[in-house]
Copies of this chain bind each other. A is one copy, B any other.
């Protein structure tokens, strides 16, 4: 059960921190050529992954990640109390189909690219609150499904501005448990939808940076911790420009992240990939967290990090109707146990 949360705080403390007993990640060909390639469980060699549509390929990746995470923990589908999942497709169809396949009690989430961290935060609350022994959390995205849904037919080869990001093809799954071996989730800070009036759908970094900065600052205020308490502060997919902006905003609030601030969207690709500002998509923070970051904790290179899933809350329809774009950031503290 949580420590009593004071009114107005956005951070919850876990009294019996839920354990991440297993994670799995499946990524696309491009992600499999990147600097984090070795940290992923499986690299698919073709964006269709043997299916006849990209959407079905993304579903297959999510199914694979679920199976792999269960297998690593020697668990079966029936051992999971709740599945929390989401993705970028309209009506989160990847997660719906994965939930049908897995046949677990299912709660669908939508937090744009923050979904993995929304799931980790909620999943940890369900476990620590005594409602579940084991919760499976998943999120996915696919370059080709996202591109044609949110932007243009990929066949058009539309030119992308330098602030644009490249949607990660990947699915990440984590299993949280009341007991077991693995890193633990000690805190979660739930973000607000923050809108600074940005309306350029090709510059998601600028949209999400103020939300990420707000959540990170709130976390430090709520916990009375300073950045040096963490080995790393890792945002989901701010990209090169968004990260710079967030760092500046956080500095203005009195917290200096220098030397410990990084971003999953920057980590996942090589310069040669020419993805402009970096990676994005629900799959970005999902696979980097389930692959690379878990590896860092396991190897001892990092003892404790704060991960912040970042999302841009837009739809093609909202952009067409002239809405500005709210951003959101949900933070979770993950520590190596012991």
Contacts and interface: CB of A to CB of B under 8 A. Distances in A.
A93 to B, nearest CB: 5
A2 B118 contact: no
A48 B259 CA distance: 51
A12 to B, nearest CB: 5
Interface stretch (A66-74, A151-159, A321-329): A321-329
Interface residues of A, number: 65
Scoring A10, A104, A105, A126 by chain B CB atoms within 10 A of each residue's CB, the highest score goes to: A105
Contacts of A1: 1, 129-130
A92 B110 contact: yes
A53 interface: yes
Nearest to A1: B130
A313 B129 contact: no
Nearest to A103: B192
Contacts of A126: 125, 129
Q: Specify how many copies of this chain sit in the oligomer.
A: 2
A96 B193 contact: yes
Given A55-B318, A109-B107, A118-B107, A100 B326 contact: yes
Contacts of A290: none
Nearest to A15: B130
Given A110-B86, A129-B1, A105 B191 contact: yes
The secondary-structure label for the interface of chain A is mixed
Contacts of A53: 321
Contacts of A108: 109-111, 118, 313
A100 B313 CA distance: 10
Given A4-B130, A106-B328, A109-B110, A100 B55 contact: no
A268 B153 CA distance: 41
Interface in A38-75: 53, 55-56
Nearest to A99: B193
Contacts of A7: 78-79, 81, 133
Nearest to A86: B110
A284 interface: no
A99 B192 contact: yes
A254 interface: no
Cβ-closest 7 pairs across A and B: A129-B129, A96-B313, A91-B315, A105-B190, A99-B193, A100-B193, A2-B130
12 contacts: A5-B81, A10-B105, A89-B315, A91-B313, A93-B317, A96-B193, A100-B326, A103-B192, A107-B121, A108-B313, A109-B110, A129-B130
